[in-house]
């Protein structure tokens, strides 16, 4: 006790300050240690808030794994977490999302950190925590659009093998052991035409009011090819169904035209490569019924199936010829006109009843007369070729062939599109009914395949892109996109197509060659595929090119259309189609579906 008292006095008298230093250091440690609880609680609170936010985020984003890229998912996660936590003190670093589309899972992870207050005294500037959240929902539905070539080159064994292979694929996929009622098929047979059921004439997406800028293509109601039409004016529209109705005992077969390829829009947004819903504010979004125009009489142009004259047409606009006589007159003396230069008429001839100015001259002759000077007599057509082709009065009250190259319906022999259905008996019967006839338009086949899968009009059987459904398009062809220029400088069209005439400028122009038309159609086909595959839609595309040689433009187009090169198949013989469709069907059957 005495020793302790001495030590205490010694400590009291010590002025070296060593203890104060030690005590100060000890105090910092003690404060940091004690305050670490505060820092720890703060980071834990931030972690809890971040976890709640991440849980909500993963539930919101999981349905988008089929339509969004990982970069888009990451960006959206960062934005949602920042908004939810709402603290400038908390720093959030989102790691790359982990996506398993087949399992339907999305894993999100984020590091959070915040500056420390107390433990900063001992060199720890911030505290971090990792949060993670995962959501899994397997695909609830499988939608398959089969886009199948029914062109003439598919005749014989090819179409037979295609029917067998497509039906087999339906059997394999529809017999998915757990949830067959969740499997839907649509069918798009295509040639150079696409056909819908004629009952769709009265649907909201058909151009029943002449709103599209293409509705007047190749038609004119005033026999004046220089007069335009303004479809924005309700009184200046042409409903092509009215033309069909003007012909007794005649009906529209259901074939449709391509929407305009409006060059004022970015290429990827032009309406023949982009699935934009029909809207009254944009008449070009409506689908126009195909109407193959009659060409002028006596020209040798194909598709001349009606007379250019018709009692319903105005007699003042006869398609016949007229004769006009003009003369220069003779001067009796310089600066003075001869009295034999009247304003109209000519001795021995009737007064002029028409003018040949600006019209096609069919014959002309000139002579000199002592009194009348140079006398010219000209015969001309009252209506030019374009006016004779475009006049709509000639369809009134006549009945041409119902279908074929001498009909307004043109080569509309293809079977109609079948919207998505899970009636496998029906879809197989429609596959069995396919026949081979006509040209090849892979571009429009692909476009309508996308429309079958789309949740919006013209078909609404598909569910939304963010509803967890797997949407698949299978495009099969044995040939190339085909356009049919004729080489003339009037229409330059041998077979009327979904783009109208080359004269209309919707696929090339009056100088377009077959090769140029094919190249442009290939370009548009690939753009349709790119749009369908992109993150907003997430459609998986398989392509099959029967007998298509490696390295050809068609091979390149089909390869680029597919989701990846592994989903592009190139069988050399029709006998291989069963194996190809089976391989695709097996892949689709492996998809995990759930309730």
Mean pLDDT score of the chain: 84
Smallest Cα–Cα separation from 150: which of 413, 471, 447, 419?
A: 413
Residues 31 and 124 placed together within one structural domain of the fold = yes
| 531 token code pair | 């749009």
Residue 19 has pLDDT above 90, yes or no: no
Domain assignment present for residue 592? The answer is: yes
Domain assignment present for residue 110? The answer is: yes
- pLDDT tens digits along 171-182: 988 875 455 578
Residues 68 and 124 placed together within one structural domain of the fold = yes
Domain assignment present for residue 296? The answer is: no
**Strand 361-369 and strand 373-381: pairing?**
antiparallel
Domain assignment present for residue 28? The answer is: yes
C-alpha dist (Å) from residue 427 to 143, 180, 280, 433, 462: 13, 15, 33, 10, 16
Q: What is the pLDDT of residue 445?
A: 98
Domain assignment present for residue 230? The answer is: no
| 522 token code pair | 């290939």
Residue 276 has pLDDT above 80, yes or no: yes
Full residue range of the structural domain in which residue 336 is found: 321-381
Q: Counting Cβ atoms within 10 Å, is residue 315 exposed (0-12), middle (13-18) or buried (19+)?
A: exposed
What would the mean pLDDT of 367-388 be, rounded to a whole number? 79
Domain assignment present for residue 124? The answer is: yes
Residues 112 and 162 placed together within one structural domain of the fold = no
Residues with Cβ < 8 Å from 427, sequence gap 6 or more? Answer: 170, 185, 187, 418, 421
- pLDDT tens digits along 42-94: 556 666 777 787 787 877 777 677 667 888 888 888 888 777 776 667 777 87
Query: What band does 334 get if pLDDT is binned at 50, 70 and 90?
Result: low
Select the more confidently predicted residue: 17 or 440.
440
Alpha-helical (H) ranges within 135-204 are: 157-174
Query: What band does 26 get if pLDDT is binned at 50, 70 and 90?
Result: very low
Residues with Cβ < 8 Å from 428, sequence gap 6 or more? Answer: 167, 170, 171
| 175 token code pair | 């017999």
Residues 52 and 84 placed together within one structural domain of the fold = yes
Residues 71 and 103 placed together within one structural domain of the fold = yes
Residues 437 and 346 placed together within one structural domain of the fold = no
Domain assignment present for residue 354? The answer is: yes
Residues with Cβ < 8 Å from 418, sequence gap 6 or more? Answer: 185, 186, 187, 188, 426, 427, 430
- pLDDT tens digits along 196-242: 999 999 999 999 999 999 999 999 988 777 788 888 888 889 999 99
Residues 162 and 120 placed together within one structural domain of the fold = no
Residues with Cβ < 8 Å from 95, sequence gap 6 or more? Answer: 108, 109, 110, 111
56: domain CATH number is: 3.10.450
Share of the chain above pLDDT 90, in %: 54
Domain assignment present for residue 295? The answer is: no
Q: What is the pLDDT of residue 95?
A: 85
Residues 165 and 68 placed together within one structural domain of the fold = no
Residues 161 and 132 placed together within one structural domain of the fold = no
Residues 436 and 575 placed together within one structural domain of the fold = yes
Q: What is the pLDDT of residue 27?
A: 46
**Strand 469-477 and strand 141-149: pairing?**
parallel
Select the more confidently predicted residue: 557 or 356.
557
Q: What is the pLDDT of residue 345?
A: 45
Residue 283 has pLDDT above 70, yes or no: yes
Query: What band does 32 get if pLDDT is binned at 50, 70 and 90?
Result: very low
Name the domain count of the chain: 3
What would the mean pLDDT of 15-43 be, rounded to a whole number? 49
Question: pTM (2 decimals)?
Answer: 0.75
Residues 375 and 501 placed together within one structural domain of the fold = no
Residues 375 and 504 placed together within one structural domain of the fold = no
Residue 194 has pLDDT above 90, yes or no: yes
* C-alpha radius of gyration, the chain, whole number: 38
């Amino acid at each position: 006790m005495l020793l302790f008292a001495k030590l205490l006095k010694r400590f009291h008298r010590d002025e070296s300050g060593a203890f104060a230093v030690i005590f100060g250091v000890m105090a910092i440690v003690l404060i940091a240690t004690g305050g670490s609880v505060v820092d720890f609680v703060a980071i834990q609170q931030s972690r809890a808030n971040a976890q709640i936010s991440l849980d909500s985020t993963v539930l919101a984003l999981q349905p988008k794994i089929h339509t969004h890229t990982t970069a888009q998912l990451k960006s959206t996660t960062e934005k949602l977490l920042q908004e939810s936590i709402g603290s400038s003190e908390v720093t959030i670093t989102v790691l790359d999302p982990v996506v398993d589309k087949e399992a339907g899972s999305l894993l999100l992870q984020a590091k959070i950190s915040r500056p420390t207050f107390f433990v900063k005294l001992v060199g720890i500037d911030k505290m971090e925590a990792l949060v993670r959240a995962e959501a899994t929902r397997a695909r609830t539905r499988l939608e398959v659009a089969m886009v199948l070539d029914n062109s003439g080159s598919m005749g014989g064994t090819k179409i037979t093998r295609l029917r067998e292979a497509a039906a087999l694929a339906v059997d394999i996929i529809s017999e998915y052991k757990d949830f067959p009622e969740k499997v839907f098929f649509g069918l798009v047979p295509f040639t150079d035409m696409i056909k819908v059921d004629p009952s769709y004439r009265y649907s909201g997406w058909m151009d029943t009011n002449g709103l599209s800028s293409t509705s007047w293509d190749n038609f004119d109601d005033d026999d004046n090819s220089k007069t335009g039409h303004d479809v924005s004016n309700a009184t200046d529209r042409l409903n092509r169904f009215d033309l069909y109705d003007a012909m007794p005992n005649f009906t529209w077969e259901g074939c449709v035209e391509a929407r305009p390829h409006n060059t004022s829009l970015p290429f990827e947004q032009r309406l023949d490569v982009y699935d934009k819903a029909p809207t009254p504010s944009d008449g070009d979004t409506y689908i126009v019924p195909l109407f193959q125009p009659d060409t002028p009489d006596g020209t040798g142009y194909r598709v001349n199936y009606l007379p250019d004259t018709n009692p319903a047409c105005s007699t003042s606009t006869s398609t016949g010829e007229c004769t006009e006589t003009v003369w220069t007159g003779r001067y009796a003396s310089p600066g003075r006109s001869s009295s034999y230069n009247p304003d109209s008429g000519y001795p021995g001839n009737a007064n002029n009843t028409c003018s040949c100015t600006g019209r096609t001259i069919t014959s002309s002759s000139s002579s000199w007369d002592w009194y009348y000077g140079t006398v010219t007599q000209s015969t001309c057509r009252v209506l030019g070729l374009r006016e004779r082709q475009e006049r709509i009065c000639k369809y009134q009250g006549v009945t041409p062939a119902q279908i074929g190259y001498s009909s307004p319906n043109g080569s509309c022999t293809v079977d109609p599109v079948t919207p998505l259905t899970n009636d496998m008996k029906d879809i197989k019967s429609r596959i069995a009914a396919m026949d081979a006839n006509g040209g090849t338009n892979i571009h429009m086949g692909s476009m309508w395949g996308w429309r079958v899968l789309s949740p919006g009009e013209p078909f609404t059987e598909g569910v939304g892109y963010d509803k967890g459904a797997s949407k698949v398009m299978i495009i099969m062809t044995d040939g190339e996109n085909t356009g049919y220029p004729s080489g003339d400088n009037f229409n330059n069209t041998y077979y009327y197509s979904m783009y109208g005439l080359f004269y209309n400028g919707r696929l090339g122009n009056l100088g377009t060659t077959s090769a140029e038309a094919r190249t442009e159609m290939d370009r548009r086909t690939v753009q349709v595929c790119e749009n369908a595959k992109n993150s907003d839609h997430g459609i998986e595309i398989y392509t099959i090119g029967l007998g298509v040689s490696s390295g050809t433009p068609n091979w390149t187009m089909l390869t680029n259309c597919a989701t990846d090169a592994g989903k592009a198949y190139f069988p050399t013989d029709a006998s291989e189609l069963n194996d190809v469709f089976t391989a695709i069907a097996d892949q689709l059957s492996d998809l995990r579906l759930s309730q």
